[in-house]
Structure 1
Amino acid sequence: MALILNIETSTKNCSVSIAKNGEVLHYKEINDGNYSHAEKLHPFILGVIEESNIDIHSIDAIAVGKGPGSYTGLRIGVSAAKGLCFSLNIPLISVETLLSLAHSVHTEAGYIIPMLDARRMEVYSVVYNNKFEEHREIRAEVIDENSFSEFSDANVIFLGDGAEKCKEVLKRPNFSFIKDKFPSSVQMAKLSYEKYKKNDIEDVAYFEPFYLKDFIVTPENKKV
C-alpha cells in the first residue's frame, strides 16, 4: 500500500490530495482567480490528512507538480513538498503539470494539447496522443492563426487557461476547446503512484521546478 500526498500549485489552482494506491481519498482545491497558495496550501495539507484519518507519519511519499507554470506558485508548492520530505524522511516525486492537465480529458483518437497561460499570446504547451504519449515536446510559444497547422487533419482537443485565451485565434473545424480545466492534484494521483512503483523519485536536496523560461523581475516604474 502507498499513501501519497499530492500538491499542485503551478497555476492559480491551489490543489492538494491524499491518495491510496493512486485512488484519491480526499482533496481540497481553490481556483478563485487569485494566487492564494501562501494562505491556503498548508491548511489544505492539514485538512486532507485529518479528513483521511491518517497519521502524517504513515505517508509514503510527497508528489508535487513540477511545472511549467507560475514562478511563485511553483516555489511555494515545491518548498512545502521538500520541507515535508525532509521532516518525514520520505521520497519526493515530481509530476509534469501539463501531463496532469492532459489527464483531465480522454479521446479515442487524435491529440490532446494542454496549454498554460504565459502572458499575452504566449503559452506553455505540449502535444500528447490519445495514449498520453508525448508527440511534441513542451514549448513556450507565441500563438497565431498558423499555430498547430500541422494538425489540420486530426481531431485536436485544447484545454487549460492558455487554450481559452487562444480560442479566437485557433479557428479550425477540427479544433475543439474544453473550458474550466486546470492542473489538479486529483489527476496527479495515478501518475505519482506509477512513479512511486518504479522508484522514479527526485533528489530532495537539489530538485528545482521546471520553469521553462527564466524569471525576470520588471520594476513597476520602468517605462516600456
Structure 2
Amino acid sequence: MSLILSIDTSTKVCSVALHQDGNLLAISELFAEKSHSGMLTTLCENVVNHGGFSLNQLDAIAVAKGPGSYTGLRIGVSTAKGFCFALDKPLISVNTLEAMALQVKNFYDESHLLCPMIDARRMEVYCQIIDNQMNTISETEAKIIDEDSFSDIFEQKKIVFFGDGAAKCQEKITHKNAIFLKTDITPSAKTVGVLATNSFEKSLFENVVTFEPFYLKDFVGTQPKKA
C-alpha cells in the first residue's frame, strides 16, 4: 500500500496529485504564470484533504526533478523536501520527460518512438527518446535542433514529438517519419505519481539532504541593460 503526494513545477504549470497504489485520487493544476511559489503549499494541502487523507498519512513525497524551468524546479524540489523533513517521509524523484511520455505511450505501438520536448530557448530543447514500453532509447539531453536531428532514428522508426518545445521544431524536422501532436501535452503530477509508485515499491528513495533538481545545464540569467 502506498499513498504518495506528487508535485510537478517543471514548467509554467503548477501540478499536484495524490495517488494510492498508483490510482489517482485527487489532482489540482494551475496554468497561470508564476503561480508556483505562492500557491504550491496550499495546493498540496488541499489535494490531500480532498482525497480524504491528512498529510501525516502520506507514505512518500514525489517530485518531478527536471529538466525544465530552473526557478520552477527549485520551488518544486524545495517544497517537496520541506514536506519530507516536516513529516519524516521519503523523497522520490521522477524525470519530467518520462512522466510526459507516460501520458501518450498507450496511443502508439512499437513502430513509434516518443520524444517529449520542453522548450529551452531559441532552437534548443530538453528531450529524450523513449519507446512505448517506457524503455530509454536516448538519454535526456539539451539538444539544438537542426535539419539533421534524429536522422539516424528516422530510418528505423517513426518519432512522435510533443510538449511545449515541439512546435518550434516543426520547421526544422520535416522527415516523413516525424509526427507532431496537435494536442498540448504538459508535465503533470498525474503521471509523476504513477512512476513514483513504481519507485516506492522498489524503495528507490533520494537523500533528502543532498538531493538537487536535474537542471541539465547551468542557469543563464538575463543580463542587466546598460544605462
Shift of 1:40: 2.3
Q: Where in structure 2 are the equivalents of 1:104-183 lying within 5 Å?
A: 104-106=103-105, 107-109=108-110, 110-153=112-155, 154-178=157-181, 179-183=183-187
Superposition TM-score, scaled by structure 1 size: 0.95
Aligned length, in residue pairs? 222
Shift of 1:128: 0.8
Q: Which string of whole-angstrom CA distances, capped at 9 and with x for unpartnered residues, describes residues 86-137 of structure 1? A: 0000100000001001111021122101111000110011111121111111
SS at match of 1:170: coil
**Correspondence 1:202 to 2:203:** no
**Correspondence 1:85 to 2:84:** yes
Runs (4+) of structure 1 exceeding 6 A deviation are none
Q: Which stretch has the larger CA shift, 210-219 or 94-103?
A: 210-219
**Counterpart amino acid of 1:158?**
F
Superposition TM-score, scaled by structure 2 size: 0.94
Unaligned runs of 5+ in 1: none
Distance change in 2, residues 1:222/1:92 (3 Å): farther
Shift of 1:222: 5.3
Q: Which string of whole-angstrom CA distances, capped at 9 and with x for unpartnered residues, describes residues 147-184 of structure 1? A: 11112231211111011221222112211112310110
Unaligned runs of 5+ in 2: none
**Counterpart amino acid of 1:8?**
D
Q: Percent sequence identity over matched residues?
A: 45
Which residue does the alignment assign to 1:218?
222
SS at match of 1:220: coil
**Correspondence 1:10 to 2:13:** no
C-alpha RMSD over aligned residues? 1.3
Q: Which string of whole-angstrom CA distances, capped at 9 and with x for unpartnered residues, describes residues 17-54 of structure 1? A: 0100011100001223x232112212211210121121
